[in-house]
Amino acid sequence: MVSTTRTLQLLFAGAVTILLLSSITSGGSGDHKSAVHKVFNGQIHISKLWPWASKNGKSHGGGRTWVREHVERSERIYQTMVAQREQLDKDYKKARVRKDLFPCTSHQAYQVTPFTIWDYTTAAFNCPHSVQRIGRLGDGGKWICGLELLEELPAPKTPESPSPCVVYSFGINTESSFEDALLSRTKGCEIWGYDFSVNDFGPQLNRSADYVSRAHFNKAGIAGVTDTKKKPPFYSIQDLLKKNGHDHIDVLKMDIEGFEFDTMRSIIDAFRMPGKGKPKPAKNGAKGARDGGAAEESEAAEPGILDALEDDGLGEVPIAQLMIEIHLDPGRIKDTPEFMSWWQTLEDAGFRATWTEPNLLVSTLPLYDGYPRYAEYTFINVKDSKSLILK
């Protein structure tokens, strides 16, 4: 008797075969047909046929234009979620209860507050490329937007040449499957890792010469304010950028056990202030002008909804993508308003949550009261002019 797993494998293989054969027989460019044949013969991976596999979204026929349209559409969806979030606030007021992070702790409470803090922070923004989980299953793996763009970057020409892809990893502990996967999938990415509690990357990291040359570990902590007198020392992100000679981070992974709140406030304050950015261009009437004065009808219909995508004159936080585990340990954040004040600081700086995964180990171990106090989020920065994701 064929096992369930084997049956599913056969069904999937059949579906792929039908897809490939239909692609071969149904029109399309010669390049596309050639790619289909290569997939069928096992010469290239099927992902090469996906629309987002082509660099910068060119398979959609618009390149940067298509990405821009996707981001604008995602911003509208995201703002719809923000409006729903405001409705939750109204529900709180009607219930006349404290704005706790986890108010639904009984059947009675469910009738008035059937939500948790994580319902306020839905990952409603869509990455304009593929979203993949790399690293081990369970605690340690991360969701990344647009990995295929990083895969296409070349290796530095010489050991002294700057890497085209800068990755910072804060909080290593003994688990480096994410870092190992990222190095194995890319040639141009270089990682700077920091953790004050261990002496090196975890055992998962391949120790071959190529990997070692692109992975740099530092025994140091991350905080909102640099303190080199501590042993080990602690650094703010902005001071690490100066120390390492970097002006931009392509991927930032952060798991620093509650220090994320002060750390992110600090770098946002450092880069977001009047005079840091370019003057915001004047609008042409209600429609607004962009790209040589050509205004889009969508903006005329919804004036102001896409302001988050424009330069507001306050400067850019030089982080394209942020993967962060948020820790709501008892006593760290007192209530929903305090947490949302921090969250909205990220939003105002251009960070949009594009993926989330609860850390259910907090409930199964359990830690503290068993509430789901930890959650993983992936953000992309829609105000980052250097972001590969937006090009």
pLDDT tens digits, residue range 303-356?
Answer: 456 677 777 888 999 999 999 999 999 999 999 999 999 999 999 999 999 999
Q: Indicate the fold that domain 125-274+306-381 takes in CATH.
A: Rossmann fold (3.40.50)
- Which amino acid type is present at position 239? D
Task: Give the per-residue pLDDT at 291.
Answer: 37
| φ, ψ of residue 316 in degrees (nearest 5) | -115, 140
Taking every pair of Cα atoms in the chain, the longest distance, rounded to a whole number of angstroms, is 71
Say if residues 168 and 249 touch (Cβ distance below 8 Å).
yes
| Three-state DSSP string of 74-138 | HHHHHHHHHHHHHHHHHHHHHHCCCCCCCCCCCHHHHCCCCCCHHHCCCCCCCCCCCEEEECCCC
- Over residues 25-30, the mean pLDDT reads 50
**What are the tens digits of pLDDT across the range 220-253?**
999 999 999 999 999 999 999 999 999 999 999 9
221-222 and 234-235 strand pairing? parallel
Please enumerate in sequence order all residues whose Cβ is within 8 A of that of 114, keeping only pairs 6 or more positions apart, or say none: 104
**Mean pLDDT, residues 245-265:** 98
**Among the listed residues 214, 164, 160, the one whose alpha carbon sits nearest the alpha carbon of residue 184:** 214
User: Of 206, 306, 317, 310, which Cα lies nearest the Cα of 265?
Assistant: 317
CA dist 321 → 69, 356, 374, 382, 387 (Å): 19, 14, 20, 9, 8
Q: What CA–CA distance (Å, rounded) separates 374 from 361?
A: 9
Number of alpha helices (DSSP H) and beta strands (DSSP E) in the chain: 12, 11
Q: How far is CA 78 from the centre of its chain?
A: 15
Q: Report the C-alpha gap between 391 and 381 in whole angstroms.
A: 12
192, 169 contact by CB (below 8 A): yes
Where do the structural domains in the chain lie, given as residue ranges? 125-274+306-381
Task: Give phi and psi for 131, each to the nearest 5.
Answer: -120, 120
Answer whether residue 32 shows pLDDT above 90: no
Tokens 């409930």 sit on residue: 363
How much is the mean pLDDT over the chain?
83
CA nearest neighbour of 250 among 311, 182, 340: 182
Cβ–Cβ under 8 Å, residues 181 and 205: no
